[in-house]
Amino acid sequence: MPLPPLALTMGEPAGIGAEIAAGAWAALRATGPAFVLLGDATRIAAVPVARVTAPEDAAAAFPAALPVLHRPLPAPVTPGRPDPANAPAVIAAIEEAVALAKAGRVAGVVTNPIQKATLYAAGFRHPGHTEYLGALAGTPGRPPVMMLACPELRVVPVTGHEPLARAIARLTPALIVAHALVTAEALRRDFGIAAPRLAVAGLNPHAGEDGTLGTEDRDIVAPAVAELRARGIEARGPLPPDTMFTPLARPTYDAAICLYHDQALIPIKTLDMAGGVNVTLGLSIVRTSPDHGTALDIAGQGRADPSSLIAALRMAAAIARHRSLSS
C-alpha cells in the first residue's frame, strides 16, 4: 500500500523556505516522495502550483504541480526581513502538519527552517523546533532527541542550544543514557538497524587521560556507557573526540552520542553541509528538517540550494516506510 504524502511546513516566510520547496518539487516530481506544502500559495512563483483542499489530493497533483494547502499570511513578506505578524501562521502550519501526521493523513512532517527570534517576539516559549514538536507529539517520559544524519555519519548532541558552560554543568550519566536509549530505539524502528552500535564521545581532550585532563569523562561519561552496556546496548566510550570521526572510525558505529552542540555539528557539516538532515527521534510521528537555517541573507535571490530539503524529504519517506513495515 503506498504511503500518504509528506507534509512540508512553510518555515520563516522571509527566508528561503518557498524557494527550496519549489526546488525540491522540481527535483522529486518524477520520482517522489510526494509532499504537500502548508503555506501561502501566492509565494510560489518559480514552478506550477496546485491548490488542494486536503492532503489526500496531493499525490495525484504532484507530477504536474507543487501541491499547496493554501494558508494566507496576514502580513506582506519582504525577503530577508522577518515580520512577527506572520509568526502565528508559521506556528499554525507546524501544528496543522503534526495533527495531520497524528491522524495518519500524511506520512510524516518535514519542517522548513524557522527564525526563532521572530517567534520569540510573538510569544513563542519553546527553545526550538525539537522541543515544540516534543510537546505536540512526544512520547511521555522521554525527551525528544535531535539527530543530524547524512550517508556517512549520524550524530546526536546530548545538550543543545545553550552556552557551553551551562551545557557541561548539566551533563549527568542519566542525561546521556536517556538520549542514547532513544537513539538506539530509533535506529531499530526508523532505520532498520537490528543491533545498533553507539559511540559515546568524551568531553575533554583525549577523553580526560584517566582524569589528568579533567574528571568528567571518568565520573560522568564512563558510568553512562557502563549502564548502556548493562541494558544490552552495544556502546563504546568515552572516545577521544579528535579521532572518533575519522574515515576509519566512522564505519565502526551507527550513531555518535556527542556531549554538546558543536561537538556533533562540526563533523557532520564538514562532511556534508548540503545533504545533512535534522531528524527528531522519540516522537509518535516522523519528522525531519533541512540541516540549515533560514538564510535571510540570500532569500529572494534564487540562490538557495534545496539539497538538504530534498534529503530531508527522502529520509522522512524512508523512515515512514520502516515504521509501516515494523508496525
**322 marked ligand binding residue:** no
**261 marked ligand binding residue:** yes
Beta bridge partners of 19: none
**292 marked ligand binding residue:** no
> In the chain, which residue ranges form alpha helices assigned H by DSSP?
17-28, 58-61, 87-102, 116-121, 129-137, 164-170, 173-191, 216, 222-230, 261-272, 307-326
Beta bridge partners of 200: 257
201 secondary structure, DSSP code: E
**116 marked ligand binding residue:** no
**287 marked ligand binding residue:** yes
Residue with the three cell numbers 535506529: 187
Report which of 271, 246, 247, 263 is spatially closest to residue 150, judged by C-alpha positions: 271
Query: Within a 10 A sphere around the Cβ of 139, how many other Cβ atoms?
Result: 14
C-alpha cell, 210: 584517566
Residue with the three cell numbers 548502556: 228
Query: Within a 10 A sphere around the Cβ of 1, how many other Cβ atoms?
Result: 4
User: Cβ(272)–Cβ(149) under 8 Å?
Assistant: no
Task: Sort residue 192 into left (φ over 0), alpha (ψ -120 to 50) or beta.
Answer: left
Separation between Cα atoms, residue 283 and residue 43, nearest integer Å: 31
Separation between Cα atoms, residue 173 and residue 227, nearest integer Å: 9
**51 marked ligand binding residue:** no
* Binding region for substrate: 129-130, 269, 278, 287
* Binding region for a divalent metal cation: 161, 206, 261
* Binding region: 129-130, 161, 206, 261, 269, 278, 287
